[in-house]
Structure 1
Amino acid sequence: MSANRTKAWILAACMVAVAGFSALGKPGTQAAMDTRARVPLEDIFPSQVGDWRLDPAAAVFVRPAVDQARRFQMYDQVLERTYINGQGQRLMLSVAYGRQQSVGLQMHRPEVCYQAGGFQVQDVRPETIQVLGQPFPVTRLQAHMDGRPEPITYWRLLGDGVVTDDSSFKLQQLSLGLRGRVLDGLLVRVSSIDRDTDGAHRRQARFADELARAMSPVQRQRAFGVAPAGSPRP
Structure 2
Amino acid sequence: MTPSSSPLITRRSMVMGAALAGVGGVAMARQPRPESARIGKETLERLVPTRIGDWTFRDSSGLVLPPPDALSDALYSGIVTRTYVAPDRMPMMLLIAYSNVQDGMLQVHRPEFCYPAGGYRLSPTVVEAMPDGVGGIIPTNTFSADGVSRTEQVLYWTRVGAAFPTTWLGQRVAVLRANLNGVIPDGVLVRVSTLAPDMASARGDLTAFAAQLVRTAPPPARRLLVGTA
Name the TM-score, length of structure 2 as normaliser.
Answer: 0.75
Could you tell me how far apart the structure 1 residues matched to 2:27 and 2:191 are?
A: 33
Instruction: Give 4+ residue runs of structure 1 displaced > 4 Å after superposition.
Output: 20-23, 68-71
Per-residue CA deviations over 1:28-64 (Å, capped at 9, x if unaligned) read 3xxx65x332472123221101110011xx25x69xx
Could you tell me how far apart the structure 2 residues matched to 1:96 and 1:109 are?
A: 10
Alignment of 1:1-234 (within 5 A): 24-28=30-34, 33=36, 35-38=37-40, 40-55=43-58, 58-59=59-60, 72-73=72-73, 74-87=75-88, 89-132=90-133, 133-226=135-228
Which sits farther off after the overlay, 70-79 or 140-149? Answer: 70-79
Per-residue CA deviations over 1:69-110 (Å, capped at 9, x if unaligned) read 999323121100000002263100001112222222211110
Report SS of the residue matched to 1:162: coil
The match for 1:3 is none
Structure 2, unaligned runs of 5 or more: 1-22, 63-67
**Aligned AA (1:26):** P
Aligned length: 197
Report SS of the residue matched to 2:38: helix
Could you tell me how far apart the structure 2 residues matched to 1:174 and 1:26 are?
A: 10
Could you tell me how far apart the structure 2 residues matched to 1:101 and 1:221 are?
A: 16
Q: Report the Cα offset of residue 207 of structure 1.
A: 0.5
Kindly indicate whether the alpha-carbon contact (under 8 Å) linking 1:69 and 1:78 is maintained by their aligned counterparts in 2. no
The change in CA–CA distance for 1:87 and 1:94 in structure 2 (over 3 A counts) is: same
Kindly indicate whether the alpha-carbon contact (under 8 Å) linking 2:89 and 2:205 is maintained by their aligned counterparts in 1. no
Kindly indicate whether the alpha-carbon contact (under 8 Å) linking 2:175 and 2:184 is maintained by their aligned counterparts in 1. no
The change in CA–CA distance for 1:23 and 1:100 in structure 2 (over 3 A counts) is: farther
Kindly indicate whether the alpha-carbon contact (under 8 Å) linking 2:141 and 2:166 is maintained by their aligned counterparts in 1. yes
Structure 1, unaligned runs of 5 or more: 1-16, 63-67, 227-231
The match for 1:65 is none
The match for 2:18 is none
Query: What is the percentage of aligned positions where both structures have the same residue?
Result: 29
**Aligned AA (2:147):** M
The change in CA–CA distance for 1:158 and 1:22 in structure 2 (over 3 A counts) is: farther
Kindly indicate whether the alpha-carbon contact (under 8 Å) linking 1:44 and 1:223 is maintained by their aligned counterparts in 2. no
Report SS of the residue matched to 1:94: strand
Kindly indicate whether the alpha-carbon contact (under 8 Å) linking 2:130 and 2:137 is maintained by their aligned counterparts in 1. yes
Q: Report the Cα offset of residue 130 of structure 1.
A: 1.6
Could you tell me how far apart the structure 2 residues matched to 1:159 and 1:173 are?
A: 8
Name the TM-score, length of structure 1 as normaliser.
Answer: 0.74
Q: Report the Cα offset of residue 179 of structure 1.
A: 2.1
**Aligned AA (2:50):** S
Q: Report the Cα offset of residue 173 of structure 1.
A: 0.8
Could you tell me how far apart the structure 2 residues matched to 1:115 and 1:21 are?
A: 41
